[in-house]
């Protein structure tokens, strides 16, 4: 297979970001679970699941023309997006260990991405 096209990379990156927003909505939906499991049925839960489905469409389209060994690790960038969104939306703390973990993920994805070139 030839090198992974930039369009495939962008589709997977957008998919990972959309999926991360979906996780934020699922976190919001989880706040009402203490009232009972049936409270999982909510607008936030529906939006979260919907965003996961939409992100899957981006993944499917992205992996069609690229190397899976390059593109699938990019899905791990969703951990980076979630960490950033958690700080911005839920006011979670960010410390040196979390930053080091985020940097490690980004470095790993960058190294694997270099392996997809000819």
Distance between CA 98 and CA 113 in Å, rounded? 23
Q: Report residue 47 as tokens.
A: 């939006």
- Are the C-beta atoms of residues 5 and 70 closer than 8 Å to each other? no
- Give the pLDDT of the chain (118 residues) as one tens digit per residue: 578 899 999 999 999 999 999 999 999 998 878 777 777 788 999 999 999 999 999 999 999 998 998 899 999 999 999 999 999 999 999 999 999 999 999 999 988 877 655 5
Q: What SS3 state is found at 95?
A: coil
Q: What SS3 state is found at 32?
A: coil
What DSSP state is assigned to residue 42?
A: S
Predicted TM-score (pTM) above 0.75: yes
Distance between CA 113 and CA 75 in Å, rounded? 12
């Amino acid at each position: 297979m030839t090198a992974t096209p930039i369009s495939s990379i962008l589709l997977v990156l957008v998919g990972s970001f959309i999926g991360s927003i979906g996780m934020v909505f699922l976190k919001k939906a989880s706040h009402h679970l203490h009232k009972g499991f049936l409270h999982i049925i909510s607008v936030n839960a529906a939006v979260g699941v919907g965003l996961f489905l939409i992100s899957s469409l981006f993944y499917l389209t992205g992996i069609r023309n690229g190397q899976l060994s390059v593109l699938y690790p990019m899905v791990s960038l969703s951990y980076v997006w979630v960490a950033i969104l958690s700080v911005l939306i839920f006011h979670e703390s960010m410390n040196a260990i979390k930053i080091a973990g985020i940097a490690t993920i980004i470095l790993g994805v960058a190294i694997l991405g270099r392996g997809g070139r000819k």
